[in-house]
């Protein structure tokens, strides 16, 4: 295991961690309601590290505020939210973490026909309809300008993945593991929707629909949603949103592994209520991938023809205009040429972007990736390809 995983994480000081995330910046959990927050703490028996108690107390105070605003939203928009229809159905961007889903999301949402969940809407999913006009202006300066796991921009107005909204709604999601990284991970069945209890499935479906309805009411446009855990849920999502379309992005497995390792170490360090020990992290990465893609490959055949498109990250960064045009054609998303100028402007702005350089993988890990993810290598033609 690499040295960055072995670090103790004991020194917090003015910054919360070696990843440079300011101690005063909001965490994911600051957007939870009081009942959901204390249920999360109780489920983990309040095993909070003493150094993270100030964070926990601050979040606890915010949850009271969120609960009050949620009540205001229910009183103001409850009837309209019950009546709204998510039509046309969403476009889902899927693929493993660090496969390029964020880049693809940012490219597609340049089309004004689409709407997307912002970071604030995922941060405050229970009340953004009544608070988005003011709260981001008041606390937006507290967010860092860059995401701690890479060099991409951050802020309340940026596109965000809806899995964080589900976590803040108290919905069952594997992302709750980030809060207590030293405890056994939960809800792994939600990576492939195999063996999910009726209670958990109904709760999950209810919150997914509720968040999509709130976004539709707020924006009045077709939604583009992206969340890596949705990769193994395409069959359920197709049932919840008849006519939904999916863009799946693949990337070289070794790059996925090393970048995902960095992602989880960063999130545990920045967002965790425990000082992370990173025990069994590599096995967790293997297991999540295998459940996610086991579910995806079993379910992808349930998607109607013309509703699922595959793209490779390496092709996307090599020729983004050509790849996005191909997505539009395969999924019948409309007139690509109408949004092309917006896309070209964004690409010009991103010309100076340089992704992080990752450490070299240990030979034994490389061998395990080749063995355990052999089907992915073959399916997406990476057997002889180089990393990107």
In a domain, 387, yes or no: no
Asked if the peptide bond before residue 36 counts as cis, ω within 30 degrees of 0, the response is no
In a domain, 384, yes or no: no
In a domain, 388, yes or no: no
**Contact present, 156 and 140 (Cβ < 8 Å):** yes
pLDDT of residue 328: 98
**What domain range is 38 assigned to?**
25-379
Indicate if the alpha-carbon torsion angle 22, 36, 230, 114 is positive or negative. Answer: negative
**Contact present, 314 and 286 (Cβ < 8 Å):** no
Compute how many other C-beta atoms are within 10 angstroms of the C-beta atom of residue 353: 12
pTM of the model: 0.91
In a domain, 18, yes or no: no
In a domain, 204, yes or no: yes
Number of domains in the chain: 1
**Contact present, 234 and 247 (Cβ < 8 Å):** no
Question: Per-block average pLDDT, block size 10, for the chain (388 residues)?
Answer: 37 41 82 98 97 95 97 97 97 98 96 96 98 90 66 80 97 97 98 97 98 98 98 98 98 96 95 96 98 98 96 96 98 96 90 64 94 97 71
In a domain, 16, yes or no: no
Sheet of 91-94: strands edge to edge? 114-115, 222-226, 91-94, 245-250, 308-312
pLDDT of residue 385: 58
Instruction: Report d(CA 177, CA 189) in Å as an integer.
Output: 13
Instruction: Report d(CA 295, CA 315) in Å as an integer.
Output: 25
Query: Quick one: CA torsion of 157, 163, 165, 166, rounded to 10 degrees?
Result: 170
110 is written with which tokens? 């340049």
pLDDT of residue 2: 38
In a domain, 292, yes or no: yes
In a domain, 13, yes or no: no
Give every CB contact of residue 148 below 8 A, 6+ residues apart in sequence. 19, 20, 21, 266, 270
173 is written with which tokens? 């999601």
pLDDT of residue 17: 45
Q: What is the CATH number of the domain that holds 40?
A: 3.40.50.300
295 is written with which tokens? 């579910």
- The tokens 């997505």 sit on which residue? 327
């Amino acid at each position: 295991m690499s040295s960055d995983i072995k670090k103790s994480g004991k020194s917090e000081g003015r910054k919360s961690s070696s990843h440079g995330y300011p101690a005063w910046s909001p965490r994911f959990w600051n957007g939870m309601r009081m009942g959901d927050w204390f249920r999360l703490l109780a489920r983990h028996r309040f095993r909070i590290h003493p150094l993270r108690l100030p964070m926990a107390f601050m979040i606890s105070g915010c949850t009271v505020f969120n609960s009050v605003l949620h009540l205001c939203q229910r009183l103001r928009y409850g009837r309209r939210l019950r009546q709204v229809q998510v039509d046309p159905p969403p476009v889902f961007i899927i693929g493993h973490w660090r496969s390029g889903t964020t880049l693809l999301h940012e490219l597609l949402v340049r089309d004004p026909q689409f709407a997307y969940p912002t970071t604030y809407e995922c941060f405050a999913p229970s009340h953004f309809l009544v608070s988005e006009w003011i709260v981001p202006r008041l606390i937006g300066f507290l967010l860092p300008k860059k995401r701690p796991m890479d060099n991409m921009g951050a802020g309340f107005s940026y596109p965000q993945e809806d899995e964080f909204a589900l976590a803040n709604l108290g919905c069952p999601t594997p992302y709750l593991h980030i809060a207590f990284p030293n405890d056994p991970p939960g809800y792994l069945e939600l990576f492939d929707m195999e063996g999910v209890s009726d209670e958990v499935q109904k709760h999950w479906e209810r919150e997914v629909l509720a968040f999509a309805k709130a976004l539709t009411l707020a924006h009045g446009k077709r939604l583009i949603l992206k969340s890596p855990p949705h990769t193994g849920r395409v069959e359920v999502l197709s049932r919840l949103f008849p006519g939904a379309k999916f863009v799946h992005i693949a990337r070289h497995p070794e790059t996925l592994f090393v970048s995902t390792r960095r992602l989880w170490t960063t999130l545990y360090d920045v967002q965790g209520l425990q000082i992370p020990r990173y025990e069994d992290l590599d096995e967790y990465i293997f297991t999540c991938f295998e459940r996610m893609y086991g579910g995806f490959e079993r379910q992808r055949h349930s998607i109607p023809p013309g509703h699922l498109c595959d793209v490779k990250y390496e092709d996307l960064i090599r020729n983004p205009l050509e790849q996005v045009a191909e997505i539009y054609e395969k999924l019948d998303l409309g007139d690509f040429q109408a949004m092309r100028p917006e896309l070209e402007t964004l690409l010009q702005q991103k010309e100076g972007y340089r992704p992080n350089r990752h450490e070299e993988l240990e030979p034994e890990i490389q061998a395990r990736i080749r063995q355990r993810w052999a089907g992915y290598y073959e399916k997406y033609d990476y057997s002889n390809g180089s990393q990107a």
